[in-house]
Structure formats: structure tokens, C-alpha cells
Structure 1
Amino acid sequence: MPTRTPSLVTRTPGSRTPDVIVIGAGVVGAACAYYAARAGLSVTVVDRGPVAGGTTGAGEGNLLVSDKEPGAELHLALHSNALWRELAGELPSAVEFETKGGVVVASDETRLTALRTFAAAQADAGVEAREIPADRLHDLEPHLADGMAGGFHYPQDAQVQPALAAAHLLRASGAEVRCGEEITAVRTAADGSVRGVTTASGTCLDAPQVVNAAGTWGGEVARMAGVHLPVLPRRGYVLVTEPLPRVVRHKVYAADYVADVASGSAALQTSAVVEGTPAGPVLIGASRERVGFDRTLSVEVLRRLAARATALFPVLAGVRAMRTYAGFRPYLPDHLPAIGPDPRVPGLLHACGHEGAGIGLAPATGVLIGAALTGKQPPVDATPFRPDRFPDSPCPDSPGA
């Protein structure tokens, strides 16, 4: 999947005070900038690195509803799924938006029964899911291993090239984009309200509203503003194969993946997740572990990923893995992102903590932030995502450790 980003449309730095500063140029920050601009606001986006240089650039681009249990996150995901389809008509084809659907497979009857119960609850919430008997799985995935008990097809699941999507959303927003400028302070007035930010170079950027879309560093940005938001990094690896014919047609994963997503364990968890891409390489995941920001290559994790992938698709056993990369999902303890105004600091808003769902949830997050910035009624109830829902106590495994 190509990652060359387009040239961004920027305003001349310092030309005027923007209505809002967005901290973070990943896909969530880009979506916040895009929908804030559509609401009529002027926006400056600031990032310590390049566009999509953090979690977004290390993601697979999944836009999933299949892995979410009924509740607030699924409601947000369904709304975001519809928004992505709208954006697909507005953004260039280079973002590789693909409505390929997902297939979840069960290796035995016990897991299939659990999937059946899970899918029935999702259907009541508006998710499309169709049970596929064992003897029809190969109609969807000809190279899938034999012996599966059955599975479910989720036609709403999709994929996008995340780095290009972020770049094109930023370009479409018309925001001033300032890359390579680390935020060192969130400045407040005497009454406690936001005044702007300060960068590592000593530059003061003024704005009456600041959006914290800093991904895994969202907790650090919150601390700069004097509030607690327990965002922690959760490391994951992706294996990338050599370019292949489309041997994997959908996003295919084992039923165990759903439990791993919902788990709060800090220990290593791996489950089989395999998907093809328009460019040819097959992407193989997924792993989860909380190890701070440690980027040390783990051969054991890669071994597990390869073993689980080849068990699911034996045809991959003779395929070369060309590269691997690690990323950090921004994890919050209740597995819900923090989205919206922070009542503790007027003018501060948060849009972070999406864990592995940030790319899929980005448009709906941007819409909620746009509504909050302009005082409009949001299309989705934002109450479950309140940033101040966590006790004001330090996290035991802070990302700064």
C-alpha cells in the first residue's frame, strides 16, 4: 500500500489567529480539522512529526463494525461507517477505500455458537451479519483452511489507506498544517480557559479552543492542561508479505480476535487477522500488549503471527514476509475513546483513546468535535465518551515511564 502523501494546502503561518488548534495530524486529528472547517471554523493543525507519523501510519486502515459489541462504540462505528462512504466520493481514489467486507471464522462449534450469539446482538443494533455454513466458506475465501465450523460475513466492514486518508482530509480542510513542532504547553488564562499552545521552539500559537488529538500521547497533552486522561500505549505488530494475486478477498479473522479487542490485559495476546490489499501485499496481525513505548522487535510475536496466519490460510506458508512494523494503539481502560469538551478546562476538547479503532471512528469523532466547537447538537450521543469520566488519579503504567 503506497504511503506517499499529497502536498497539503496551508495558510501562511501567523496570518491570523485560528478558531481552533488541533494537536495531532493523524487520521483523527485530520477528521477533526475537516469537520471543523466544514462547520465554518479556521483551523491550525500541529504535530511533533509528519502527517500520519504515529498510530495512523502503523495501522492497517480497518473500518470495522464486526468486532464491536452492542453499545456506544458500535453506534459510533455505524455512523462513522456511513460517513466514510460519503467521504469516499469526495476524496481521491488514492485513499484506496474498499468495501470488501469481513469474514469471521470459528474453528469449532463452541466458538461458532458464541459468534452466533454475538452477531444476533449486533443485528439488533443495526449491523448486517450473515451466517456462513462450513461448506460455503470457500465461496467467500477459496484459500481458507479446511475444517472450520463456520463463520459470519459482515458486508459493512471496509478498508482505507490510512496515511493517505489523513493527508487528503487535511488538504480538503484547508487547515494550516505545522509538522515537526512539538507542543510543550497548553496555555490558559487567569480564569482557567484555553488561550493556545506553546511549541518546543518557544512559539506561542493562540486560539480560543484546542483539540487534543495526540493519539497515544493524548494523556501527556491532557497533563499539560492540568487534567487527567489515562491514555496508555498498547503495542501491536503487522507483518507485510510480498505482493500477491488476491488470495485473501476480505478481512478475515478468527473468532478469538473479538475477545482480544475487548480485553484489558497488559499481557501479550495474538490472534489471526489476515487481509489482502489493492496493491497486492497481504497484511497479517494482530497482537496486543502494554509495554510502554518499547519498539524492540519481538521475534516471538512475529512467529506467532505467522503461525496463526498460515493456519488460517495455508497458501501463505510459502510466501515471503517483506517487512514488519510496530505501532501503538492509544488505549483507555474502558475501551471507549475520549471525545468532546473537557469541563475542567473551558476551550479544551479531546479526541483520543480510540485504541485500534481510530481510523474507523475518525469521521464520526470529527463530526462530534465539530458540533461541540460550534455548539450544535451532535448526531450521536456523546455522553459515553466524556473525557472527565475517569478518576483523577495517576496511571500505574504511564506512557512517560
Structure 2
Amino acid sequence: MKSIIIIGSGIVGASAAYYAAKAGNSVTLIDRADRGQATGAAAGIVCPWISQRRNQAWYRLASNGAAYYPVLIQELEALGEKETGYKQVGIVSIHEESKLDKMEQKARERQAGSPEMGELERLTPEQTKDRFPYAGDRYGSLYVSGAARVDGSAIRDALIRSAKRLGAKFIQGDAKLLIEAGQATGVEVNGESLAADRIISAGGAWAAELFKPLGLHLKVVPQKAQILHLQSDDMRTGDWPVAMVPFGQYIVPFEDGRIVAGATHENNAGFDDKLTAGGIYHILEKTLDVAPGLAAAEFTGAATGFRPATLSALPFIGQVPGQEKLFAANALGASGLTAGPYLGMQLAKLATGETTDLDISLYDIEEAFEGAE
């Protein structure tokens, strides 16, 4: 058994805490509750198989993340969790025909190796509207039965509650590294010094400041996302599929008429969490173009979240350069809720000396740091 401190309780940190506690380790999870945490603001779409991204390392991580979800949800439910925020509802990817042709071709190439994808079906505009009633009459879609939706705050909270049931301790506070002879040995939080066998950084968009006392610059920056919350008069939305629409936008229906639409991808906004007219207009313009029925929904609010991103657009995981006890994973960007639980599990395995299921050399942590020797 190892003593493990995990800094950051977003989706990666919460998953790492759950897995490490399940494996019998002494776990302390610390979070300072920064405003705009991506996990809490987001609605996730688990459907990596139709992505047009060509990076194979990204696809391997995302597809493994999708495959891990049913296993994880079964475990959480066995521990008494009733509200995990995850539900397999399928997806309709609504686009023009030429885009759908490419999407379907890519998905069918991947289908044999990803049975969790389920069935693929090309839908006419009328068939699309039958499955997703807010759709318009101009576009058909590609339906993927194995796709799922995720409520970010619900899955995070379920992981944290489960970790606590397994003995983990949760502390709200601002953790600073304790350093001896250039090595991180523990943290100071709320005036208390805590030593540990292993320290895990899962601080998302805010993680860089943790490493400054070590002379390391972590090249993770915030990417701002504005997200809209709507309320439908139709209460049957809980069984509707997720809708992906052009320009990287999505519409995620939840139970009782609640709908989330988004999101912007703002790379130079820093941690400015204000909602903007331009951001809201961008989301509404793109979503209403293909789902005009959404125009009648009540606008009930909006939120801002900050995705952790790097210039390479590829996440990293590993032992922090030059550090014996310090490990980190980060930079999932918009894939956080798809791959986060799986990456958190791999991070816990790595830190505790277990063999990972993932070839972490594909997600090189040294490239994420400046100042590392």
C-alpha cells in the first residue's frame, strides 16, 4: 500500500483517486474549487469513432476511454451509485452528404476493432427528425447506436463518492508542493504538511503553477468554452440521441427536457470567465441552422469552462522529469469526458507501480515541460 496525494478533482483526478483507493492505497484528493473547471461545466459525448482526427495516439486513447465506460459504470453502480451521469443513447451526426460520406467511411474502417460502437445507420432528413425531433429538413445524419452522453459533474461526483467509500480522504484547499533537495516530497494545504509516497498532478488548466517552484514550466493553457443551458417543453428528451452538428457544435438532451448546447473554442481568452454575446450567438447560429426546432426552447442560463490544452493538441501522461515521486496527466482538451476516466486509471496505475494498459510513450510528458533536464 502506498500513500498517494492527488491534486485536482476533475475527471482525471477523480478517476485516479477512485482507482488508487480501489487498489488498496491510502488516497488523499485535494481540490481548491476553481471557478470554471471544465469537468463541472461540460456535457460529454462519448463517440470517438466518427472523428476525422488522424492522430492515431489520440484515437487510441479516446477509443479506449469509450470502451472503459461500461466497465466503470458497472463498478460504480455496484458500489451504490445511482446517478453516474452516463447513458448510452446513440448519436445523430447531422451534416451535409459529402461530410457524412467521409464520416461513415472512417467509422466503418474502425468498426471491427471497436465493437462498442454498435450499429451504424445512414439516415435521411425525415429519419433524423424521427430520432431527434428538433432537426430540420435539410440534412441527413449518421446514427451510431453505441454513443453515449455524460454529465460531467455527475460522473465526477460519483467517482469521488466511491473513492471515499473505499477510504479516500477529500480536502478542499490550495495545495503547494513540499520540496526537499529539489524533490517534491508532499504538499502543504490549509496550513498542514502532508508527506506521501506518490504525488499526482491532475490540475487541468490550472496545473502549471504547481510546478513553478521546481523550475519547470508546464505548457498547458486554458481554452475557454461557453455552453448554453436550455429547457424543452417536451419532457421525453432523456431518450433522445445526442446531436453533433457542423463547426464542432453539439446538442445534448438530458432527462426532463434539459438540453445543453455548445461549445465555443476560445484559445486566447485566458481565464476570463465572462459570457459574451459573440460566443452565445456563435452557438445558437450553428445549432439552430440544423436544429431549428430548438428555437422554441427556453434559455435558462449559460456557463463557462476552461479546457486544458497544449499546442500539440495531444494529452500527456508520465513521471514528471527529474522527480522521483511526482506524476502528472493533462491536456485532454475537448476529449476530457471521453478519455478522462480511462486516463485517470492509467495515471493511478503508473504512480503505484502497476503495468499500464496504454503505451504512455505516445503521450510524452517531457514535451509538455520547459526547464526539464
- What is the TM-score normalised by the length of structure 1? 0.82
Q: Does 1:143 align with 2:143?
A: no
Tell me, yes or no, if the aligned pair for 2:83 and 2:158 is still in contact at 8 Å. no
- State the 1:277 CA deviation: 0.4
CA distance in 1, matches of 2:262, 2:338: 17
Q: Name the structure 1 match of 2:39.
A: 56
Correspondent of 2:93 among 97, 104, 118: 104
Tell me, yes or no, if the aligned pair for 1:340 and 1:368 is still in contact at 8 Å. no
Say which SS state the counterpart of residue 94 (structure 1) adopts: coil
Tell me, yes or no, if the aligned pair for 2:12 and 2:340 is still in contact at 8 Å. yes
Q: Which letter does structure 2 place at the counterpart of 1:211?
A: I
Q: Does 1:363 align with 2:344?
A: no
CA distance in 1, matches of 2:191, 2:215: 20
Superposed, 1:101-250 pairs within 5 Å as 101-107=90-96, 109-123=97-111, 126=114, 128=117, 130-135=120-125, 136-148=127-139, 150-173=140-163, 174-179=167-172, 181-183=173-175, 185-190=176-181, 192-199=182-189, 201-245=190-234, 246=236, 249-250=240-241
Q: Does 1:93 align with 2:82?
A: yes
**Structure 2: which 5+ residue stretches go unaligned?**
none
CA distance in 2, matches of 1:151, 1:276: 17
Superposed, 1:2-401 pairs within 5 Å as 19-49=3-33, 54-65=37-48, 66-67=50-51, 69=53, 71-89=56-74, 90-91=76-77, 92-107=81-96, 109-123=97-111, 126=114, 128=117, 130-135=120-125, 136-148=127-139, 150-173=140-163, 174-179=167-172, 181-183=173-175, 185-190=176-181, 192-199=182-189, 201-245=190-234, 246=236, 249-257=240-248, 272-290=249-267, 291-390=269-368, 392=370
Tell me, yes or no, if the aligned pair for 2:320 and 2:327 is still in contact at 8 Å. yes
How many residue pairs are counted as aligned between the two chains?
A: 357
More strand by share: 2
CA distance in 1, matches of 2:312, 2:111: 23
Q: Which letter does structure 2 place at the counterpart of 1:123?
A: Q
Q: Which letter does structure 1 place at the counterpart of 2:7?
A: I
Q: Which letter does structure 2 place at the counterpart of 1:32?
A: A
The verdict on how the C-alpha distance between 1:242 and 1:362 changes in structure 2, with shifts beyond 3 A counting, is: same
- Cα deviation, 1:278-336, whole Å, max 9, x if unaligned, reads 24211111211121011122111111211222222111212220101111111112222
CA distance in 2, matches of 1:256, 1:41: 44
More helix by share: 2
Say which SS state the counterpart of residue 256 (structure 1) adopts: coil
Tell me, yes or no, if the aligned pair for 1:20 and 1:44 is still in contact at 8 Å. yes
The verdict on how the C-alpha distance between 1:225 and 1:55 changes in structure 2, with shifts beyond 3 A counting, is: farther
RMSD value over aligned CA atoms?
2.5
- What is the TM-score normalised by the length of structure 2? 0.87
Q: Name the structure 2 match of 1:12.
A: none
After the TM superposition, which parts of structure 1 deviate over 3 Å for at least 4 consecutive aligned residues?
66-70, 120-125
